[in-house]
């Protein structure tokens, strides 16, 4: 009985560890790793363009545009759609369209692009500004975060916007829905949640739940701080009680104090499904106190902001990366030297890259107009290359046992200055005949999708309980996929 129970347990563990077929297995954590030796985990910063992709140009954009918003691929044109926010110079009741209500300076704006770099502002004629009907204004939330739910049976709810409204009974987070992303119907039960200002929305692909991540400020570890909370909903009307999911710790505060700051805040977080799990971009605000220089349209709190990567297996429990280096750092260009104020709620896959749009500020948070410029910029990573396991000399990464869901193995790795070989082991950790490192076609290049070959071919023992052992030398391992 004891041995039978052990056998059931082993099979159960193997099934639990089985990766989804054709889904990248990243190495942001050790959940799929049984053993590693001689490797270090490293977070990778994005590449950037030398200029922003969108700057304020229209009167209703004032002097700032934010991608407190969303960029989605446009299947109809093979281009891109962007929903972004502006803070126009004129308050409600003057140049602002009265149909928008009292949302202070904020507008939700819409732009399109053929290449994701050069953006057009279509004249939608939905809302006017200063008597001009030819605008790209579509709504009036602050921090409009949008998801497209292709599985929604009601076409009027295919697009969902989550944001902060100052209209209605009181200010707070609420929703709006649309069939086309342009004509929006506000939730009559606003607000649905209390909170601060910035927020993002994502859709859980497995449960169908909407996950809203938003800012709340209160005392935490001796300071009043901005923190990230989560609430979930299936129907956009009933939301779960907000739960704190991301807060600065002693390590964050130590970094801030080393830069002559006071304490750390998390300004906001964008979370999105990726590779069978969730990844997130959290904005680390190193608060310094009041700005040294005074000027118009200025925040009373100063300090730089950059972006770190975080991760979760279920979207609810979040963990920090071992390497907390910023993945969207400030600079080297002037346009984002002070703040990365937040990212769009999800990346866009473009060829062999992942593009992330973000709000860039040339000054620190307490900068003032006209010195302060708020624009929209684009960051990029090669596919799956957020985090790697690096071997400076020789290293080994061995997975847990799993039931092989496919017949071939593809790796994303850079072995251009070294080598990478892969062994296939049985459930007990013994190398399977024909699948040893000496029988593997060694990788010596940099490849996003290298198909692994052994002398006997490329077929894995499909349905069998196996482990993978990656043998690295002067190489970086980013992900693997079983197809």
Residue 13 confidence (pLDDT): 44
Whether residue 3 is contained in a domain is answered as no
Whether residue 260 is contained in a domain is answered as yes
Question: Is the dihedral angle over the CA atoms 200, 310, 228, 289 positive or is it negative?
Answer: negative
Same domain, 186 and 294: yes
Using the predicted structure, report yes or no on whether residue 299 has a pLDDT greater than 90: no
Name the residue range of residue 194's domain: 47-382
Whether residue 10 is contained in a domain is answered as no
Same domain, 29 and 51: no
Using the predicted structure, report yes or no on whether residue 457 has a pLDDT greater than 50: yes
Same domain, 321 and 201: yes
Residue 95 confidence (pLDDT): 74
Rounded distance between C-alpha atoms, residue 409 and residue 402, angstroms: 14
Same domain, 357 and 475: no
Backbone angles phi, psi at 207, to 5 degrees: -100, -15
What CATH number has the domain bearing residue 187?
A: 2.115.10.20
Rounded distance between C-alpha atoms, residue 69 and residue 109, angstroms: 9
Residue 106 confidence (pLDDT): 85
Whether residue 240 is contained in a domain is answered as yes
Same domain, 72 and 202: yes
Using the predicted structure, report yes or no on whether residue 160 has a pLDDT greater than 60: yes
Same domain, 377 and 410: no
Residues 6 or more apart whose Cβ sits within 8 Å of residue 335: 51, 52, 360, 362, 373, 375, 377
Query: Tell me: the pLDDT tens digits for 63-94?
Result: 899 999 999 999 999 999 999 999 765 444 45
Same domain, 296 and 417: no
Residue 320, both tokens: 């920090």
Write down which residue in 355, 382, 409 finishes a domain: 382
Write down which residue in 382, 409, 430 finishes a domain: 382
Q: 456: pLDDT confidence band, cut at 50, 70 and 90?
A: confident
Of 138, 158, 137, which Cα lies nearest the Cα of 149? 158
Same domain, 302 and 428: no
Total number of residues shown for the chain? 483
Least confident of 54-58, 329-333, 383-387, 460-464: 460-464
Same domain, 183 and 231: yes
Residue 350, both tokens: 């473009």
Where does residue 107 fall: left (phi above 0), alpha (psi -120 to 50 degrees), or beta otherwise?
Answer: beta
Q: 101: pLDDT confidence band, cut at 50, 70 and 90?
A: low
Same domain, 425 and 335: no
Same domain, 351 and 463: no
Write down which residue in 338, 364, 382 finishes a domain: 382
What CATH number has the domain bearing residue 427?
A: 2.60.120
Residue 168 confidence (pLDDT): 57
Number of domains in the chain: 2
Of 119, 185, 35, which Cα lies nearest the Cα of 357? 119
Least confident of 60-74, 163-177, 279-293, 310-324: 163-177
Of 469, 476, 466, which Cα lies nearest the Cα of 18? 466
Backbone angles phi, psi at 2, to 5 degrees: -60, -45
Query: Tell me: the pLDDT tens digits for 10-24?
Result: 334 455 567 787 899
Query: Tell me: the pLDDT tens digits for 183-214?
Result: 999 998 878 998 888 999 999 999 999 999 99
Measured over all CA atoms, what is the biggest interatomic distance in the chain, rounded to whole angstroms?
82
């Amino acid at each position: 009985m004891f041995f039978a129970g052990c056998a059931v347990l082993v099979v159960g563990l193997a099934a639990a560890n089985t990766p989804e077929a054709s889904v990248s297995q990243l190495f942001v954590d050790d959940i799929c790793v049984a053993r590693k030796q001689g490797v270090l985990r490293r977070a990778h910063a994005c590449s950037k363009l030398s200029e922003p992709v969108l700057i304020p140009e229209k009167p209703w954009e004032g002097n700032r545009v934010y991608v407190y918003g969303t960029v989605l691929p446009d299947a109809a044109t093979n281009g891109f759609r962007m929903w972004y926010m502006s803070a126009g110079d004129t308050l409600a009741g003057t140049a602002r369209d009265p149909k928008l209500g009292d949302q202070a300076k904020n507008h939700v704006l819409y732009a399109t692009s053929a290449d994701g770099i050069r953006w057009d502002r279509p004249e939608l004629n939905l809302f006017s500004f200063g008597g001009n009907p030819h605008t790209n204004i579509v709504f009036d939330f602050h921090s409009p975060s949008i998801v497209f739910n292709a599985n929604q049976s009601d076409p009027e709810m295919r697009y969902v916007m989550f944001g902060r409204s100052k209209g209605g009974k009181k200010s707070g987070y609420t929703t709006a829905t649309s069939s086309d992303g342009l004509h929006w119907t506000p939730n009559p039960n606003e607000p649905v949640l209390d909170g601060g200002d910035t927020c993002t929305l994502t859709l859980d692909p497995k449960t169908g739940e909407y996950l809203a991540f938003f800012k709340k400020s209160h005392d935490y570890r001796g300071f009043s701080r901005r923190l990230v909370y989560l609430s979930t909903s299936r129907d956009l009307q009933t939301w779960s009680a907000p739960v704190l999911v991301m807060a600065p710790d002693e390590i964050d505060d130590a970094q801030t104090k080393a830069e002559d700051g006071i304490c750390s805040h998390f300004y906001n977080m964008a979370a999105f499904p990726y590779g069978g799990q969730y990844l997130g971009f959290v904005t680390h605000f190193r608060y310094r106190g009041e700005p040294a220089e005074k000027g118009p349209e200025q925040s009373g709190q100063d300090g730089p902001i950059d972006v770190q990567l975080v991760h979760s297996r279920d979207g609810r429990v979040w963990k920090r990366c071992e390497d907390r280096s910023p993945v969207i750092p400030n600079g080297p260009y002037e346009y984002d030297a002070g703040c990365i104020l937040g990212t769009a709620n999800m990346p866009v896959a473009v060829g062999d890259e992942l593009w992330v749009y973000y709000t860039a500020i040339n000054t620190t948070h307490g900068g003032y107009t006209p010195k302060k410029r708020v624009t929209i910029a684009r960051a990029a990573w090669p596919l799956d290359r957020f985090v790697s396991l690096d071997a400076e000399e020789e290293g080994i990464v061995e997975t847990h046992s799993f039931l092989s869901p496919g017949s071939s193995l593809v790796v994303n790795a850079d072995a251009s200055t070294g080598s990478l070989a892969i062994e296939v082991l049985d459930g007990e950790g013994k190398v399977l005949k024909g699948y040893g490192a000496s029988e593997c076609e060694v990788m010596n290049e940099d490849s996003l999708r290298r198909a692994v070959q052994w002398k006997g071919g490329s077929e894995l023992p499909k349905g069998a309980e196996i482990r993978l052992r990656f043998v690295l030398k002067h190489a970086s391992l980013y992900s693997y996929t079983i197809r």
